[in-house]
Amino acid sequence: MGTITFVEHDGTPHQVELEDGSSLMELATNHGVPGIDGDCGGEASCGTCHVIVDDAWITTTGTRTDLESQMVEMSPECGPNSRLACQLRASPALDGLTVHLPEFQM
């Protein structure tokens, strides 16, 4: 049903099959995308699934919620498009989405 691309900090892209209903964190960890840990299992309480949404996509995904801000704003790499991948649900609307990974997870 489409793909999502995770781009590592060094530019290496990883294309992952989009599965409706999964979170982007689950997609990444299930497909072994390096650089996403997901230590809290998707509860927005560890900050280790930080992604930076490509500018072209931020209106589609929307910006982060307060819940996400609490964790992700602690990261020195946090920017306006920073989100927690566990709080982004995959759906057909996100087919073709590109997100960038920070150099380090917290």
Partner 1 sequence: MFEQTTTKRETMTTNSTLFQRTKVRVTDTVQATVPVDRVIQSVALTLKAKRLAGMMKALRFEERPIPDPADVPLEEIDVSNPFMNRQGQWYPYFARLREEAPVHYQPKSPFGPFWSVTRYADIQAVDSNAEVFSAEPYIVLGPPPFNAEMFIAMDPPKHDVQRRAVQGVVAPKNLKEMESLIRERVQDVLDNLPTDRPFDWVERVSKEITGRMLATLLDFPFEERHKLTYWSDTISGSADATGGTTHQDELFPAAVDLARNFTALWHDKAARRAAGEPDGFDLITLMQTSEDTKDLIKKPFEFLGNLTLLIVGGNDTTRNSMTGGVLALNRFPDEFEKLKADPKLIPNMVSEIIRWQTPLAYMRRVAKRDVHFGGQFIRKGDVVLMWYVSGNRDERKFENADDFIIDRKNARNHMSFGFGVHRCMGNRLAEMQLRILWEELLERFDRIEVIGEPSYVQSNFVKGYSDMQVQLTPKPVREQTPVRVEATSGA
Site residues, ligand FES (CB under 6 A): 25, 38-40, 42, 44-49, 71, 84, 86
DSSP labels, 7-47: E-TTS-EEEEE--TT-BHHHHHHHTT-TT---TTSSSS-S-
Share in percent of the chain as helix, strand, coil (round to 5): 25, 20, 55
Map residue 48 onto helix, strand or coil. coil
x-marked contacts with partner 1 along 55-94 as a string, rule CB under 8 A? ---------------xx-xx-x------------------
Supply the minimum distance, in Å, between the C-beta of residue 5 and partner 1: 18
86 binds, among partner 1, ligand FES, none (CB under 5 to 8 A by kind): ligand FES
CA distance 58 to 37: 23
**Smallest separation, CB 32 to ligand FES (Å):** 16
State yes or no: residue 46 binds partner 1 (CB under 8 A): yes
